Amino acid sequence: MAKDYYEILGVNKGASKDEMKKAYHKLAHKYHPDKNKGDDSKFKEVNEAYQTLSDDGKRAQYDRFGSAGPNMGGGQGYGGFNQGAGGFGGFDFSGFQQGGGVEFDMGDIGDIFGEFFGGGGMGGRGRSQQARGRDISTEIDISFEESIFGVKRSVLISKQSTCDTCSGSGAKAGTKMDTCKTCNGKGQVREMKRSILGTFETARVCEHCHGAGKIPNEKCSECKGKGVHNKQEDISIAIPAGINNGEMIRMTGKGEAISHGQTGDLYIKVNVKPHSIYRRDGSNLIMDLPIKLTDAILGFEYKLKTLDGDMDVTIPEGVNHGELLRVRGKGVPQGGSMSRRGDIILRIQIKMPTKLSKKSKELLEDLKKEGI
């Protein structure tokens, strides 16, 4: 069944990139396979939809052809002439039958449908897509301060990686490369398939040479001729300033490698530890500030512990309970830039005294008489 990527992300067709990004982050966090109630298939489906719609070229192609179009993650394949996104429900095939009084050039229809099938069409030129390695994901924990200012971290991941010994060729150094006899050096094998519309030519990557077209006379001893093998890799991650808890970082080409194909991507979910004082609200940092009744009446100087260091803040006399005071430029970087930052918001919490001395009561009585 054809996939509706907009429906998968829960956005409308005219959604902006920011709207799709927010929807993707929310769903990726919900379905992440490492979560207790995660869903690996849903996570991959959301990832597939976002990768298509976040790319202007792929999105335009998807809007035209649906998920059955070229380079799309889904599609109907040869059996899918049903209605729906990416299907062919709008075509009437009754006129194609013999004796129907309609002349039709099957070569032309092959050129049209060749785009959908990723092949050359009926008797046309076949083509195959480059194989792609698997996307992988991991999580990383950072402190609240690191999320505000950004940090460089590294993770050790065990995955299929390109063989360093043969640089992915699968051949022993200096060995002779022979032409693959299965595909005659073309890297792909072509097949003819028949359907109600005629004969289609398809192409698939040669399983013998993995699309290289050549076979090494002597295989690499490290990867046994595969060009890839499982190993641990230390990957450096630059976490940008102002990242939110639960956000995903995509590192292109850092996923699993595949022989003579494109390496997949690595997705890192960032978990931010809560702060003992501050909580985040967009680009601002919120803090509850408990003060004494006398300080609220008379005002005072407060030494504020910001994420940049201590600073003196004047609490004005006569401040009210629940009043908000703003310290500008000490909040979260906007757009990852330290030159543009949000603010610190101090929420005043006046602590009422529970016990009063005789002298304090007398003083308060005097203030009461003055109408204060």
pLDDT score for 150 = 92
Do 199 and 298 lie in one domain? The reply is no
Do 253 and 346 lie in one domain? The reply is no
* pLDDT at 341 > cutoff 60: yes
User: What pLDDT digit, counting tens, does each position of 280-301 carry?
Assistant: 999 999 999 999 998 999 999 9
Mean pLDDT of 34-43: 77
C-alpha 57/C-alpha 6 separation (Å) is 16
Tell me which residue range forms the domain holding 155: 117-274
Residue at 257: amino acid letter: A
C-alpha 243/C-alpha 238 separation (Å) is 11
Strand boundaries in 149-253, DSSP class E = 151-162, 177-179, 188-195, 198-205, 214-216, 228-239, 248-251
CATH at 58: 1.10.287.110
CB 346 within 8 A of CB 313: yes
CB 279 within 8 A of CB 319: no
* pLDDT at 122 > cutoff 50: no
Mean pLDDT of 248-254: 93
Q: Assign 115 a pLDDT band (cuts: 50, 70, 90).
A: very low
Cα–Cα distances in angstroms (integers) from residue 175 to residues 79, 218, 229, in the given order? 45, 6, 20
* pLDDT at 75 > cutoff 70: no
Do 238 and 262 lie in one domain? The reply is yes
Of the listed ranges 64-68, 183-187, 260-264, 357-361, the one predicted with least confidence? 64-68
Percent of the chain with pLDDT over 70: 80
The pair of structure tokens assigned to 305 is 């512990």
Mean of pLDDT over the chain: 80
DSSP string, 35-103: STT--HHHHHHHHHHHHHHTSHHHHHHHHHH-TTSTT-S---GGG--SSSTTS-TT--GGGGSTTSS--
Examine the fold and report which residue of 274, 297, 314 is the final residue of a domain before the chain moves on: 274
* pLDDT at 91 > cutoff 50: no
The pair of structure tokens assigned to 101 is 């009084």
pLDDT score for 31 = 83
CATH at 250: 2.60.260.20
Do 146 and 258 lie in one domain? The reply is yes
Mean pLDDT of 268-272: 95
* pLDDT at 63 > cutoff 50: yes
- In degrees rounded to 5, what are phi and psi of residue 273? -70, 140
pLDDT score for 210 = 77
The answer to whether residue 318 is domain-embedded is yes
Of the listed ranges 38-42, 143-147, 192-196, the one predicted with least confidence? 192-196
Mean pLDDT of 194-204: 75
Domain count, the chain: 3
Helix (H, G, I), strand (E, B) or coil at 189: strand
Higher pLDDT, 88 or 312: 312
* pLDDT at 1 > cutoff 70: no
Do 154 and 234 lie in one domain? The reply is yes
Residue 154 burial (CB count, 10 A): 10
Tell me which range, 123-127, 188-192, 301-305, is most confidently predicted by mean pLDDT. Answer: 301-305
Q: Assign 111 a pLDDT band (cuts: 50, 70, 90).
A: very low
Q: Assign 214 a pLDDT band (cuts: 50, 70, 90).
A: confident
CB 344 within 8 A of CB 247: no
Do 354 and 206 lie in one domain? The reply is no
Percent of the chain with pLDDT over 90: 37
Do 230 and 212 lie in one domain? The reply is yes
